[in-house]
Amino acid sequence: MFVWMGLIFLKTHLKDRAHRVHLDIRKGEEKIADEYEWELLHHIHSVVRCFFTGCTVEVEAIGSFLGIPFKAQGSPERFDFSDLYLAQTMLLRLDDIAMLAVFDDSGGALNYFSERLEKITGPVSELQLREIMVELAFLNLHLKERPMFYTAYDLVNESCRNVARLPTLDLVDMDRQVRGEMLHHAVKFALPHIRMPTLTENEMVEAIKAGNLTFLFDDDGEFIKESWTPL
């Protein structure tokens, strides 16, 4: 499943070579992928082609992967997709099952998120699912050291392995505004339909952007089972 999601992620961003930044051609013909650093996709490319090359993928070369039950609260849609390119994080939802992956962390982000994951005691909503994606991306971007990925070849036995050299797991100082910007990007489609009893619309947006708002837990740290009740 991790390899399959990686293939979707890779093909999505390869397609960005053909998509313009501006739909209005008068504003320029720059492509979305013009700003991409393609070397960042080398590892994921090596992993997703394993069925073609015959290379095995060692567990250290696999990133964070999470499957979680889903309950529709704000939309009848049976499919959802979102990703954060720089953080190499993606979510994919099919009906009542959601999957999330971080492709370049060797499980580091999920290691730090596991404590909060244990507090999620039921299916998540659309907003909660996207917040989990943001949390994994946020942790991935703040890993102090990155895994070093490489392909090991055995010329005698004509075999190869995708492997990783793991660093000491640690985080740099966390910038909450990074979380806020990613969360705002991830949930902005729903903002016109969200109301909070204690915040005005502008205050809610500012709280999201500051990285201080969560749809997952209440003030007592308990999981919110109904995070989004449609009007």
For 16-46, the pLDDT digits (tens) are 999 999 989 899 999 999 988 899 899 999 9
Residue 230: its pLDDT value, please?
60
Phi/psi at 163 (nearest 5 deg)?
-130, 175
Residue 77: its pLDDT value, please?
82
Tokens of 59: 């567990």
Does residue 48 contact residue 2 with C-beta atoms inside 8 Å?
Answer: no
In whole angstroms, give the CA distance from residue 209 to residue 183: 7
Q: Which pTM does this prediction carry?
A: 0.92
Give pLDDT tens digits for 111-120. 999 999 999 9
Give pLDDT tens digits for 145-196. 999 999 999 989 989 999 999 999 999 999 999 999 999 999 998 888 888 8
Each domain of the chain, given as residue ranges in start order, spans 63-209
In whole angstroms, give the CA distance from residue 184 to residue 109: 20
Residue 6: pLDDT over 80:
yes
Residue 72: its pLDDT value, please?
83
Residue tagged 């971007």 (tokens): 141
Query: Can you tell me whether residue 28 is helix, strand or coil?
Result: coil
Does residue 110 contact residue 55 with C-beta atoms inside 8 Å?
Answer: no
Residue 56: its pLDDT value, please?
94
198 vs 63: which has the higher pLDDT: 63
Give pLDDT tens digits for 56-74. 999 999 999 999 999 987 7
124-146: average pLDDT: 96
Cα-based angle 106, 136, 111 (whole degrees, multiple of 5) = 50
Among residues 193, 184, 161, the alpha carbon closest in space to that of 73 is found at 193
The bridge status of strand 89-94 relative to strand 159-165 is unpaired
User: Using the 8-state DSSP alphabet, how is residue 24 labeled?
Assistant: S
Does residue 57 contact residue 162 with C-beta atoms inside 8 Å?
Answer: yes
Strand partners, 159: 154
In whole angstroms, give the CA distance from residue 47 to residue 131: 26
Does residue 49 contact residue 1 with C-beta atoms inside 8 Å?
Answer: no
Amino acid (1-letter code) at residue 87: A
Q: Per residue in 186-215, is it b (16+ CB within 10 Å) or e — as a string?
A: bbeebeeebeeeeeeeeebbebbbebebbb
Residue 231: its pLDDT value, please?
58
First to last CA, the chain: 36
Residue tagged 């013909």 (tokens): 29
Mean pLDDT of the chain: 92
Tokens of 2: 């991790």
